């Protein structure tokens, strides 16, 4: 089927099964080996056919809400495409989520058929099911026997049904926002929304083809990760599923991805771990690493003024072979680039990975925009920006939403990627939309002379100091989190004379610091050490000065050993800090800092 004719997600799979039946599609890490087992497009399509027929026997038709509570796995993708092939709407939920959030989503969406990953998760959701009359069938992805996916698939095999081809305006996915400022809202996205966004991404990366391979790190319950699954399906490419945090480096070696999707935090941590390892090794190894990094920086500086240095090129050639090649090999040796989103990538860190030979292409978007709006690419990249608008997408900057005299404004998005609306929330939908059909993102930004978008802050997160100056904490936090000892930071100061910051220290990094300084202690004891706190305070302050206004740089820091996590309600599923909840949880420490 020609690409131009594709108007729904079902056609993505149908076309790839027809064109590349024997190509590997999804790979799962197995414990024996270790190795990956790959399912071909043909075998995957056959499973989808059987499950789709099983869903038909459960009276799943156009518009039926079909939900899932599961991490990424082969069965997740099978059930997803099977539900879409019945014209149903897919409602994904995180496995690592609070049962109260599951209950809210199930009730608000009206899910009728629910897939659940495993028995332990089913036990957690059972209590809520008694209060949810719309959920009439639960299917367990694991195991055999009645009520399992295996049983549903067997019934479908006996009574095959044709594929339903949804219309472009039909609802495809109802995906719930992370709810940093209240109850999660269901974002209604049509097949047309998601298909248009896929082809916008492909236009930016024309080199993608059926030979492309990715290691799936991001959850498919988030639209950024789900978009990756859709894009690689249409490509006819291969998707390896990451085994877990502990197996990540080994998974890179086994899958050998050619491209990745990730959030900046992943590369913040990789960058910090690289420098921690180099500093711990010391000696010649550290000297060679630093010399190579400096040579790469010098080459960039010379290139900016149209110059070259043969000595710098020689130093970099040697360093690339002895230093940067080893870094690339840790990612499998075939990685040509990474798309990062969900938060802005620090420009200095981005340039480091470009120098290494792993370009990071920063993108911008949100669930309500399917999700992409702007995107850097190999043909058009500007460090520090989030790229230019995708094909068919128009972006305006509304300066009426910000203070007078500002050189930026609220980002407003127009295009086929804009959501249909919030589920059952017409007032919230109306509040997000302009009179001309644009979507108000709540983010602040500006364009440069060449049409690259730069994110300058978030309207809801910004706060005003006692002196009337505005502070955008996210940019400060991105810079602070580059410190190798810091896992997460959170900046405050609304109505105060100055900013302050809570710093969560990384346990592995503090132990490395302890070995380097010849001391011992638990993570908690190390975090409480005055010498460690003084060093971090001094280094963070020095790193921020010159890049931020003096009124923005935190005057005081509180050091925390307890991490912000999804489980304790202080991080969203996409690793964004929940500022209000953190302020409540650490109210006394913040009051002491601001006093």
DSSP symbols for 218-234:
S-TTSHHHHHHHHHHHH
The model's pLDDT over 572-587, given as tens digits with 9 standing for 90+, comes to 877 778 888 898 999 9
Lowest model confidence (mean pLDDT) among 39-48, 180-189, 212-221, 435-444: 180-189
How much is the mean pLDDT over the chain?
A: 92
The model's pLDDT over 261-303, given as tens digits with 9 standing for 90+, comes to 998 878 887 888 888 888 888 899 999 999 999 999 999 999 9
Structure confidence at residue 387 as a pLDDT band (50, 70, 90): very high
The model's pLDDT over 247-265, given as tens digits with 9 standing for 90+, comes to 888 999 999 999 999 988 7
- pTM, to two decimals: 0.87
In 333-432, DSSP assigns E strands to 338-340, 360-365, 372-375, 388-389, 394-398, 409-414, 421-422
Q: Is the pLDDT of residue 377 over 90?
A: yes
* Tokens found for residue 183: 């109850």
The reply to whether CATH 3.30.300.30 applies to domain 463-594 is yes
**Closest of 535, 577, 507 to residue 586, by C-alpha:** 577
Number of Cβ within a 10 Å radius of residue 51: 27
pLDDT for 336 = 95
Structure confidence at residue 463 as a pLDDT band (50, 70, 90): confident
The model's pLDDT over 119-174, given as tens digits with 9 standing for 90+, comes to 999 999 999 999 999 999 999 999 999 999 999 999 999 999 999 999 999 999 99
* Tokens found for residue 459: 């309207």
Q: Is the pLDDT of residue 214 over 50?
A: yes
Straight-line distance from the first to the last Cα atom of the chain, in angstroms, rounded to the nearest whole number = 66
Contact 557, 540 (CB under 8 A): yes
pLDDT for 3 = 46
Q: Give span(s): CATH 3.40.50.12780, the chain.
A: 3-259
Q: Is the pLDDT of residue 565 over 90?
A: no
- 3-class secondary-structure state, position 282: coil
Of all residues in the chain, what percent carry a pLDDT higher than 70? 98
pLDDT for 182 = 60
**Closest of 431, 417, 325 to residue 371, by C-alpha:** 417
Pair type for strands 372-375 and 388-389: antiparallel
Q: Is the pLDDT of residue 179 over 70?
A: no
Cross-strand bridge partners of residue 442: none
Which residues, including other chains, have CB under 8 Å from residue 202's CB and lie 6 or more apart?
208, 231, 234, 235
Q: Which of 188-202, 470-484, 510-524 has the highest mean pLDDT?
A: 188-202
Pair type for strands 439-447 and 409-414: antiparallel
The model's pLDDT over 307-351, given as tens digits with 9 standing for 90+, comes to 999 999 999 999 999 999 999 999 999 999 999 887 667 788 889
User: How many Cα atoms within 13 Å fall on the side-chain side of residue 372?
Assistant: 32
Lowest model confidence (mean pLDDT) among 50-59, 68-77, 431-440, 493-502: 493-502
The model's pLDDT over 490-505, given as tens digits with 9 standing for 90+, comes to 999 988 888 999 999 9
Of all residues in the chain, what percent carry a pLDDT higher than 90? 74
The listed CATH number (3.90.660.10, 3.40.50.2300, 3.90.1300.10, 3.40.50.12780) that belongs to domain 3-259: 3.40.50.12780
Structure confidence at residue 457 as a pLDDT band (50, 70, 90): confident
What integer is the mean pLDDT of 227-255? 94
Structure confidence at residue 102 as a pLDDT band (50, 70, 90): very high
Q: Give span(s): CATH 3.30.300.30, the chain.
A: 463-594
Structure confidence at residue 50 as a pLDDT band (50, 70, 90): very high
Q: Is the pLDDT of residue 476 over 50?
A: yes
**Closest of 205, 543, 256, 240 to residue 381, by C-alpha:** 205
């Amino acid at each position: 089927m020609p690409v131009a004719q594709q108007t729904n997600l079902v056609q993505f799979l149908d076309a790839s099964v027809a064109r590349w039946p024997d190509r590997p599609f999804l790979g799962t890490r197995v414990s024996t080996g270790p190795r990956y087992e790959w399912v071909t497009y043909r075998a995957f399509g056959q499973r989808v056919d059987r499950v789709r027929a099983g869903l038909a026997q459960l009276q799943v038709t156009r518009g039926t809400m079909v939900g899932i509570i599961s991490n990424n796995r082969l069965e997740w993708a099978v059930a997803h495409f099977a539900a879409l092939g019945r014209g149903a709407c897919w409602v994904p939920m995180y496995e690592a989520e609070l049962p109260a959030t599951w209950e809210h989503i199930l009730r608000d969406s009206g899910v009728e058929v629910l897939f659940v990953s495993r028995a332990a998760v089913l036990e957690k959701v059972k209590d809520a099911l008694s209060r949810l009359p719309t959920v009439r069938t639960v299917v367990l992805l694991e195991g055999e026997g009645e009520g399992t996916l295996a049983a549903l698939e067997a019934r479908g095999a006996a009574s095959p049904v044709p594929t339903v081809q949804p219309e472009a305006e039909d609802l495809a996915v109802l995906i719930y926002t992370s709810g940093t400022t209240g109850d999660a809202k269901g974002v209604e996205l049509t097949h047309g929304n998601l298909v248009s966004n896929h082809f916008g991404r492909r236009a930016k990366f024309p080199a993608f083809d059926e030979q492309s391979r990715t290691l799936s790190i991001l959850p498919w319950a988030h639209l950024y990760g789900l978009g990756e699954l859709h894009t690689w399906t249409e490509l006819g490419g291969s998707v390896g599923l990451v085994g877990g945090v502990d197996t990540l480096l080994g998974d890179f070696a086994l899958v050998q991805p050619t491209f990745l999707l990730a959030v900046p935090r992943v590369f913040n941590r990789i960058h910090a771990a690289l420098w921690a390892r180099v500093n711990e090794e010391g000696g010649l190894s550290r000297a060679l690493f630093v010399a190579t990094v400096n040579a790469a920086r010098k080459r960039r500086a010379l290139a900016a003024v149209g110059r070259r240095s043969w000595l710098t090129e020689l130093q970099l050639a040697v360093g690339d072979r002895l230093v940067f090649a080893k870094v690339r090999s840790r990612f499998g040796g075939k990685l040509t680039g990474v798309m990062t989103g969900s938060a802005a990538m620090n420009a200095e860190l981005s340039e480091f990975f470009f120098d290494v030979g792993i370009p990071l292409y920063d993108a911008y978007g949100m669930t309500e925009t399917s999700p992409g709006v702007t995107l850097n690419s190999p043909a058009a990249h500007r460090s520090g920006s989030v790229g230019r608008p995708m094909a068919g997408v128009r972006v305006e900057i509304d300066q009426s939403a910000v203070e007078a005299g500002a050189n930026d404004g609220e980002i407003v998005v127009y295009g086929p990627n804009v959501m249909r609306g919030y589920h059952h929330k017409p007032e919230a939908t109306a509040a997000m939309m302009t009179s001309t059909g644009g979507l108000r993102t709540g983010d602040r930004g500006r364009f440069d002379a060449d049409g690259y978008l730069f994110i300058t802050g978030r309207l809801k997160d910004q706060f005003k100091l006692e002196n009337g100056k505005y502070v955008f904490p996210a940019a400060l936090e991105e810079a602070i989190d580059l410190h190798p000892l810091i896992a997460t930071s959170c900046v405050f100061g609304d109505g105060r004379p100055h900013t302050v910051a809570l710093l969560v220290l990384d346990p592995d990094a503090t132990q490395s610091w302890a070995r380097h300084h010849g001391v011992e202690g638990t993570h908690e004891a190390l975090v409480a050490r005055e010498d460690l706190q003084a060093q971090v305070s001094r280094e963070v302050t020095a790193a921020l000065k010159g890049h931020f206004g003096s009124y923005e740089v935190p005057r005081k820091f509180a050091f925390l050993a307890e991490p912000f996590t999804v489980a304790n309600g202080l991080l969203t599923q996409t690793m964004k800090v929940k500022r209000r909840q953190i302020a409540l949880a650490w109210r006394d420490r913040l009051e002491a800092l601001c006093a």
